[in-house]
């Protein structure tokens, strides 16, 4: 038990996949770790919502057996269910095709005259958009104007970014839309081969426990407690100060001291924590997730559908009923990105989605809305010029001594738990010294360290609640 002194080797801000991975790795290396999470549960943006026999998700849904996440938390592997996923997309003509896009499908909607003009269009696009300043330039460079306009890709990109494709910085496109470059490159052949291996079962895919993410991360909290990690959930983060020998974090009216601080929460939250003003906040997108039930099974073999049509605001539909036994009809999570998620008319969105699915023959009767969720700061939005502002904020936080990590800490796009774990390992390997260089002159007195007795504390021998 290390809660009697409130002194740790490392304080981790945030209990998502990145923070949890750091906590396990550092604790197993013999360091004293305190993980502080503002929410009342662990797991970050990976959350579930249940009603009756239905469980819906916000966040990454698929995992890989033997992947970095399940290697790190091998004890929870038995909680996952093996699946053979199949991904589809609805094209502008209402046809359901496979996803990711196959090269031969990129040209199927072109007229004979357009097919003749395609080589010239591709050649000119490689010249015109070679400098690639925006997401639109990125897509046109690889696909040309004809394919980009006729396949629904332009609408999909603008739907995901909630912005014109010309206003989104190319760096975001490289992260989020890399499959476009893959579809037009030799590298893409290997990527598509991997997707086929996943769908065929050669690479074993699995999904979160049937009872939802909360059960998964409660178990991971217990495992970290057994590793000796102190976990504080529902934490009121009040301020973070530098001390002569490290950092002092005031949380829930008490003080925790640490040699290092690793930040995985949003940059503006950390800026407020250290009293930084003014705060130059990079823009982000909210994620609105609709939870719906269909009266029957949708007329498609795919469990996940992407919207490549010109209709609607939704970008992805995940039918959880396709991955857990016992359902004769579908229930699903439907995702919509938004600049202001709280203002979205969710019932109108679902009615429009129902009409669209009915028009394409996928659905006979309208969907029923069971609930919805709003996830703020779900995705970084790289408008042109935003990267410079993000880098300035990161530089200020790093100058204070905070080690930034993860999607929110680094203002980065990280689409899977496995990638988050890989980035933790890469960042840890790149770190040359055991602690940041502290240039503040030591004083003869130190700040008092109060015992950690507040509610929300999970002692090392217990689990997350």
The reply to whether 115 and 235 lie within a common domain is no
Give a yes or no: residue 117 inside a domain: yes
Give a yes or no: residue 398 inside a domain: yes
Give a yes or no: residue 1 inside a domain: no
The reply to whether 144 and 219 lie within a common domain is no
Classify 363 as helix, strand or coil.
coil
Angstrom distance (rounded) from CA 46 to CA 19: 13
The reply to whether 123 and 194 lie within a common domain is yes
- Do 84 and 201 touch, CB atoms closer than 8 A? yes
The reply to whether 330 and 418 lie within a common domain is no
List, for residues 134-175, the tens digit of each pLDDT value: 989 999 999 999 988 888 888 888 888 888 898 888 877 787
What local confidence, expressed as pLDDT, does residue 195 receive? 52
Q: How confident is the model at residue 278 (pLDDT cuts 50, 70, 90)?
A: confident
pTM of the model: 0.84
Give a yes or no: residue 32 inside a domain: yes
The reply to whether 376 and 390 lie within a common domain is no
Angstrom distance (rounded) from CA 419 to CA 429: 15
The reply to whether 176 and 313 lie within a common domain is no
* pLDDT over 90 at 190, yes or no: no
Backbone φ and ψ for 167, nearest 5 degrees, come out as: -95, -10
Pairing of strands 230-232, 33-36: parallel
* pLDDT over 60 at 445, yes or no: no
Give a yes or no: residue 52 inside a domain: no
Mean pLDDT of 351-358: 97
Classify 214 as helix, strand or coil.
helix
The reply to whether 288 and 429 lie within a common domain is no
Give a yes or no: residue 246 inside a domain: yes
Of 1, 45, 23, which is closest to residue 262 (Cα–Cα)? 23
Angstrom distance (rounded) from CA 407 to CA 349: 28
The reply to whether 76 and 34 lie within a common domain is yes
Q: DSSP character for 75?
A: G
Query: pLDDT above 70 covers what percent of the chain?
Result: 87
Angstrom distance (rounded) from CA 413 to CA 408: 9
- Do 157 and 165 touch, CB atoms closer than 8 A? yes
Sign of CA dihedral 213, 407, 238, 244: positive
Q: How confident is the model at residue 461 (pLDDT cuts 50, 70, 90)?
A: very low
Other C-beta atoms closer than 10 Å to the C-beta of 412 total: 16
List, for residues 23-79, the tens digit of each pLDDT value: 999 999 999 999 999 999 999 989 999 999 999 999 778 999 999 999 999 999 999
The reply to whether 136 and 194 lie within a common domain is yes
Domain-terminating residue out of 174, 200, 226: 200
Which residues span the domain enclosing 303? Answer: 284-380
More confident residue, 313 or 460: 313
Domain-terminating residue out of 155, 173, 200: 200
The number of domains in the chain is 3
Q: What is the CATH number of the domain that holds 344?
A: 3.90.660.20
What local confidence, expressed as pLDDT, does residue 437 receive? 43
What local confidence, expressed as pLDDT, does residue 197 receive? 54
* pLDDT over 70 at 292, yes or no: yes
Give a yes or no: residue 91 inside a domain: no
Of 255, 209, 271, 309, which is closest to residue 400 (Cα–Cα)? 271
More confident residue, 198 or 10: 10
The reply to whether 105 and 195 lie within a common domain is yes
The reply to whether 67 and 130 lie within a common domain is no
Give a yes or no: residue 330 inside a domain: yes
List, for residues 360-406, the tens digit of each pLDDT value: 999 999 999 999 999 988 887 777 777 778 888 999 999 999 999 99
Domain-terminating residue out of 380, 411, 431: 380
Angstrom distance (rounded) from CA 180 to CA 143: 8
Q: What is the CATH number of the domain that holds 421?
A: 3.50.50.60
Other C-beta atoms closer than 10 Å to the C-beta of 254 total: 17
Give me the DSSP letters along 278-337: S--PPPEEEEEEEEEE-SS--S-S-SEEEE-SSS-SEEEEEEGGGTSSS-SS-EEEEEEE
The reply to whether 344 and 253 lie within a common domain is no
């Amino acid at each position: 038990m290390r809660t009697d002194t409130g002194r740790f080797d490392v304080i981790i801000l945030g209990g998502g996949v990145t923070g949890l991975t750091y906590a396990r790795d550092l604790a197993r290396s013999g360091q004293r770790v305190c993980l502080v999470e503002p929410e009342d549960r662990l797991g970050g943006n990976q959350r579930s919502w249940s009603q009756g026999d239905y469980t819906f998700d916000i966040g990454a849904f698929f995992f890989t057996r033997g992947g970095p996440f399940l290697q790190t938390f091998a004890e929870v592997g038995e909680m996952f269910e093996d699946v053979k996923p199949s991904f589809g997309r609805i094209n502008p003509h209402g046809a359901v095709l496979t996803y990711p896009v196959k090269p031969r499908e990129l040209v199927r909607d072109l007229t004979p005259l357009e097919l003749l003009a395609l080589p010239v269009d591709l050649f000119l696009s490689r010249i015109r958009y070679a400098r690639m300043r925006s997401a639109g330039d990125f897509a046109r460079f690889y696909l040309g104007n004809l394919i980009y306009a006729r396949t629904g890709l332009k609408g999909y990109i603008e739907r995901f970014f909630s912005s014109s494709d010309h206003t989104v910085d190319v760096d975001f496109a490289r992260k989020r839309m890399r499959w476009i470059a893959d579809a037009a490159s030799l590298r893409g052949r290997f990527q598509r081969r991997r997707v086929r291996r996943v769908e065929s079962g050669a690479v074993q895919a699995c999904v979160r426990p049937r009872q939802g993410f909360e059960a998964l991360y409660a178990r991971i909290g217990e495992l970290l407690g057994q590793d000796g990690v102190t976990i504080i959930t529902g934490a009121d983060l009040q301020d973070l100060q530098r001390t002569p020998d490290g950092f002092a974090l005031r949380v829930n009216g008490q003080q925790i001291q640490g040699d290092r601080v690793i930040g995985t929460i949003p940059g503006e939250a950390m800026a407020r924590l250290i009293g930084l003003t003014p705060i130059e906040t990079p823009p982000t997108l909210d994620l609105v997730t609709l939870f719906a039930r269909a009266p029957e099974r949708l007329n498609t073999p795919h469990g996940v559908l992407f919207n490549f049509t010109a209709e609607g605001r939704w970008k992805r539909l995940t039918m959880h009923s396709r991955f857990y036994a016992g359902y004769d009809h579908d229930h699903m999570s439907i995702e919509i990105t938004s600049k202001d998620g709280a203002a979205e008319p969710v019932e109108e969105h679902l009615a429009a989605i129902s009409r669209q699915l009915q028009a394409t023959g996928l659905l006979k009767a309208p969907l029923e809305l069971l609930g919805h969720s709003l996830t703020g700061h779900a995705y970084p939005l790289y408008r042109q010029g935003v990267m410079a502002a993000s880098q300035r904020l990161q530089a200020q936080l790093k100058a204070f001594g905070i080690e930034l990590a993860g999607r929110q800490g680094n203002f980065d796009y990280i689409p899977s738990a496995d990638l988050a774990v890989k980035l933790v390992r890469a960042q840890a390997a790149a770190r040359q010294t055991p602690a940041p260089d502290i240039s503040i002159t030591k004083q003869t007195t130190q700040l008092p360290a109060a015992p950690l007795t507040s509610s929300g504390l999970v002692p090392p021998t217990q689990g997350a609640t």
